[in-house]
Amino acid sequence: MNHSRSTALQQRAESLLPGGVDSPVRAFRSVGGQAPFVTRGEGAYLWDEDGNRYIDYFGSWGPMILGHAFPPAVEAIQEAATRSASFGASTAAEGDLAELVVEAFPSIEKLRFVSSGTEATMSAIRLARAFTGRKYIIKFEGCYHGHSDGLLVKAGSGVATFSIPGSAGVPDEIAHLTLALPFNDLDAVQQAFAAYKDQIAAIIVEPVVGNAGTILPADGYLEALRAITTLEGALLIFDEVMTGFRLSLGGAQELYRIQPDLTTLGKIVGGGLPCAAFGGRAEIMNQLAPLGPVYQAGTLSGNPLAMAAGIATVGHLVKHRAEVYAQLESVTATIANGVAEEAAQAGVSLITNRIGAMWTWFFTASPVTDYASAAKSDTAAFAVFHRAMLEQGIWLPCSQYEAAFLGTSHSIADVEATIAASRTAFAAVAEKLAAK
C-alpha cells in the first residue's frame, strides 16, 4: 500500500501536536509502520488520505456498532445542526435520550450526560465519596477509567501500551487514595476491606475488561463484588463506557444480572459524537447540584448534536434489539474463531478472549484472566501480525492491550477476507518466531 500522503501528514502533525496525535492510543509506536490518516468512513470501512480502503475492527474504539455514517444518525445530526450546535440551555432531546438509557439499564433511575468517559468516571467517584463520606477507591490493574488523576494508577489501555507505570504529574497524595488490585482476585478485595475498614467509598470496575485486552470476569466474581460492597457499605460502580449497549442492550450488567449502584456510559450513547453519562440510584444521583452538595458541570453536556445522534443510535438498538445482538454474536464468533484456527494451523500460540461483539487475540499460550497474564503476551509477534493485516486492508486496534469491535455493517465477505488475510499474517509471524 502507498502511504505517502499519510506520512507527510504525520510529519506535519508531529511539528504541531505532541507525538503527532491528540490521543496516544492512535499512535503506532508499539506496532510500527505508518498510521493511516483517515479521510472518511462508511459502514464497516475506512478510507485513508492515500485512497486505501480498510475493514475497520476498532470502530472509533467502540461506538460504531451500527457502522460509520449510520444514515439515521447522519440525518439527525444534520437536522439538529441547522438549529445550532449548542445552546448551553436545556433541550427536550436530553430527556428523550435519557428515557432510552433508563429503559435499557434498570439500575439507572437518574443520570447526567457529560462529554467524555473520563468526565463520567471522575464524576461518579466524586459522587460515591460524597454519598459514603469515605475517601478510598478500589480499582483493578489494567482497567482504564479515564485520565483523571486518581484513576491513572496501574491503568490499562494506552498506559499499558507505552509501559507507563502510572503518569507523571499525579501527586502521591492523590494516588495513594486508589487501591489497585488484581482483577479476578477476590481474596485481594476482602483483604483491602479488612485493612481499610469503613474507609472504602467504592469499587469501580470494568465488568468485562476492555483496556488490557478483553478479559472476562471469573464465575461468581461480579456477584461477589456486589455482595462485599453491600456488606461493607461501599458503592459498586460499573464502568460500562466500553461494554454498555455493546455486549447487550443493557450492557454487562444485563448479561451477568448484577445491579451496580452507579454506572458510567460512553462510546455508543452519543452515536459516535463526544458524549457519555453516569447514573444510578436516585438517592445517590440527587446528591448532585443543584439538588445536593456535589458539584459537577459541563457547558457542552447534553449538546443537541450528540443527543440527536444518540437518540438515532440507541433508538435503533432498542427497536431492533433481538436481530442486532443475534447478528453481532454470530458474525463475531465466526471471525474470532476463524482467525484462531488459522493461528493454530500456522503453529502460532494464540488465546482468544471474546464476549459478544468484543474480543482480543492474545499472542500467548496461557489463559488470560488478569493484567499480569495479559502482559505475558508476545507484543513483538502482535506487532508483526498487525502490520501484515494492515497491509492487506484489515485495520485492527494498534495495541495488544485493546479490544477489537465488530458492527452490524460487517458482512460475511468482510469476515472471509479477514480470515484469509490472517493466514498470510500468521505466516509472517511464524517466520519471525523461527528466526529468533
Any idea which residues carry the catalytic annotation? 144, 239, 267
For the chain, the first-to-last Cα distance in angstroms comes to 27
Reference 73, options 407, 306, 309; nearest CA is 309
Q: Are 108 and 138 in contact (CB under 8 A)?
A: no
Q: Are 308 and 76 in contact (CB under 8 A)?
A: yes
Strand partners, 113: 277
- Rounded to the nearest 5 degrees, what angle is found at the Cα of 405, between the Cα atoms of 428 and 421? 25
Q: Are 52 and 393 in contact (CB under 8 A)?
A: yes
Cell numbers placing 248: 447487550
| H-only helix segments in 233-303 | 251-256, 282-285
Q: Is the dihedral of CA 328, 312, 268, 28 positive or negative?
A: positive
Q: Are 37 and 6 in contact (CB under 8 A)?
A: yes
Task: Check residue 364 and report its DSSP letter.
Answer: S
Measured CA to CA, the distance from residue 223 to residue 24 in angstroms comes to: 34
Measured CA to CA, the distance from residue 247 to residue 316 in angstroms comes to: 15
| H-only helix segments in 214-359 | 221-232, 251-256, 282-285, 304-319, 321-346
